[in-house]
């Protein structure tokens, strides 16, 4: 196991709330980071992904695909009925998603407190929890904890040095990953990818008539790659900021509704700006493309500023 950890370039942590209470898990992650050395960029080597992200992305993807397919078959115009119906149907789904994200934000506080006071003695081992007797065969089991303590002394110098490493280096690396990298730009893009298919459908008609719809291509780039990920990033930061604002389930649902409302309001404002710039461009030049091109440049600058300049959530300040 030591050789595998030493030679591995990266470690994927499929994280849940019980992860930091298990001695084996903390040993693996500490051994991996220790093997990379103190000068290595830990954030580049370690990737933490909560287990709820997979099913959430899958369900979100499926739901959005079905919704857009239904919209396509209904043949409703995109403005205003298509947008109103899509936003109306998405609202309950987004509220549930916001609720899950708020839960995730609160769970980071729990993890930080668990790891900050980590001790080998209080961490869990399966063998110790079942009294060193196999529950099926009733045969005695070897204690993993005593084996790990010997290994820890050999690899880390002493149990105290191991615990110090876990409480500082492992804690900051894990919390940074869970706070900043779970909903990365590329993961948001994956989640909204069905929107690209909708735009692809808009492209097909003009392309069949030997006409390249430049304005639709620019609109797809603006909304799918810049504005929607930007709105999601703002909502994620707001979720962290207000994660402890509501105590009960009802208050948390209200908070989720509030967050989704802010997102919808931002989206509606940007849609209105998009329509206004296209109309102005048509009025001045008889072509909508210059308006979309201007919006593309402004959206690009705004996106770069958001993703590059918005401060990351600092594990020490959570
Ligand atoms: Zn044991």
CA of 146 to the centre of ligand 1 (A): 7
pLDDT in tens, 107-122: 998 888 889 999 999 9
% of the chain beyond a pLDDT of 70: 97
CA of 141 to the centre of ligand 1 (A): 8
On average, the pLDDT of the chain sits at 87
CA of 137 to the centre of ligand 1 (A): 17
- Integer Cα distance of 49 and 14 in angstroms: 5
pLDDT in tens, 72-82: 777 777 667 77
CA of 125 to the centre of ligand 1 (A): 6
Residue 78 pLDDT: 66
Residue 315 pLDDT: 60
Whether the CB-CB separation of 144 and 24 falls below 8 Å is answered with: yes
List the single range of 58-62, 137-141, 207-211, 289-293 with lowest mean pLDDT. 207-211
- Average of per-residue pLDDT across 247-261: 91
CA of 162 to the centre of ligand 1 (A): 18
pLDDT in tens, 156-203: 999 999 999 999 999 999 999 999 989 889 989 988 888 888 888 888
- Integer Cα distance of 275 and 263 in angstroms: 18
Closest C-alpha to 178, from 123, 269, 135, 239: 239
Closest C-alpha to 215, from 197, 199, 234: 199
Token pair in block for residue 287: 């072509």
Residue 254 pLDDT: 93
pLDDT band at residue 272 under the 50/70/90 scheme: confident
pLDDT band at residue 85 under the 50/70/90 scheme: confident
CA of 170 to the centre of ligand 1 (A): 23
Residue 317 pLDDT: 55
Cβ count within 10 A of residue 150: 9
Residue 204 pLDDT: 80
CA of 233 to the centre of ligand 1 (A): 44
% of the chain beyond a pLDDT of 90: 41
Residue 91 pLDDT: 82
Q: Is the pLDDT of residue 261 over 80?
A: yes
pLDDT band at residue 226 under the 50/70/90 scheme: very high
CA of 147 to the centre of ligand 1 (A): 9
- Integer Cα distance of 76 and 85 in angstroms: 10
pLDDT in tens, 15-73: 988 899 999 999 999 999 988 887 777 778 899 999 989 888 888 888 788 877 877 77
Residue 274 pLDDT: 85
Token pair in block for residue 98: 């916001």
Residue 314 pLDDT: 75
Q: Is the pLDDT of residue 253 over 80?
A: yes
Q: Is the pLDDT of residue 133 over 80?
A: yes
CA of 130 to the centre of ligand 1 (A): 8
CA of 142 to the centre of ligand 1 (A): 7
- Average of per-residue pLDDT across 304-310: 91
CA of 228 to the centre of ligand 1 (A): 50
Residue 237 pLDDT: 92
CA of 47 to the centre of ligand 1 (A): 29
Cβ count within 10 A of residue 18: 10
pLDDT greater at residue 287 or residue 38:
287
CA of 27 to the centre of ligand 1 (A): 15
ipTM: 0.96
CA of 2 to the centre of ligand 1 (A): 20
- Average of per-residue pLDDT across 134-147: 91
Please, which residues bridge with residue 46 across strands?
11
Q: Three-state secondary structure along the chain?
A: CHHHHHHCCCEEEEECCCHHHEHHHHHHHHHHHHHHCCCCCHHHHEEEEECCHHHHHHHHHHHHHHHHHHHHHHCCCHHHHHHHHHHHHHHHHHHHHHHHHHHHHHHHHHHHHHHHCCCCCCCECHHHHCCCECCCCCCECCCHHHHHHHHHHHHHCCHHHHHHHHHHHHHHHHHHHHHHHCCCHHHHHHHCCHHHHHHHHHHHHHHHCCCCCHHHHHHHHHHHHHHHHHHHHHHHHHHHHCCCCCCCHHHHHHHHHHHHHHHHHHHHHHHHHHHHHHHHHHHHHCCCHHHHHHHHHHHHHHHHHHHHHCCCCCHHHC
């Amino acid at each position: 196991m030591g050789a595998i950890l030493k030679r591995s370039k990266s470690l994927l942590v499929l994280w849940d709330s019980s992860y930091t209470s298990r001695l084996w898990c903390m040993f693996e992650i500490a051994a991996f980071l220790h093997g990379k050395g103190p000068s290595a960029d830990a954030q580049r080597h370690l990737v933490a992904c909560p287990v709820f992200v997979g099913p959430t992305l899958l369900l979100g993807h499926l739901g959005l695909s079905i919704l857009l397919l239904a919209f396509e078959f209904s043949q409703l115009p995109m403005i205003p009925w298509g947008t109103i119906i899509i936003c109306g149907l998405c609202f309950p789904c987004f509220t549930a998603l916001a609720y899950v994200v708020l839960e995730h934000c609160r769970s980071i506080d729990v993890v930080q407190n668990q790891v900050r006071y980590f001790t080998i003695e209080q961490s869990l081992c399966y063998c110790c929890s079942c009294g060193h007797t196999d529950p099926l065969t009733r045969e005695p089991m070897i204690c993993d904890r005593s084996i790990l303590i010997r290994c820890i002394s050999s690899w880390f110098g002493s149990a105290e040095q191991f615990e110090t490493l876990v409480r500082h280096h492992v804690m900051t690396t894990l919390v940074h990953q869970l706070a900043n990298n779970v909903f990365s730009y590329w993961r948001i893009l994956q989640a909204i990818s069905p929107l690209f298919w909708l735009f692809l459908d808009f492209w097909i008609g003009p392309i069949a008539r030997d006409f390249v719809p430049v304005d639709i291509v620019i609109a797809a780039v603006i909304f799918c790659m810049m504005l929607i990920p930007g709105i999601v990033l703002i909502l994620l930061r707001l979720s962290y900021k207000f994660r402890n604002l509501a105590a009960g389930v009802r208050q948390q649902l209200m908070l989720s509704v509030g967050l989704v409302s802010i997102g919808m309001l931002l989206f509606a404002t940007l849609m209105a700006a998009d329509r206004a710039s296209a109309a102005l461009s048509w009025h001045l030049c008889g072509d909508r493309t210059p308006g979309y091109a201007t919006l593309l440049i402004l959206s690009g600058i705004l996106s770069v500023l958001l993703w590059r300049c918005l401060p990351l959530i600092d594990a020490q300040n959570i």
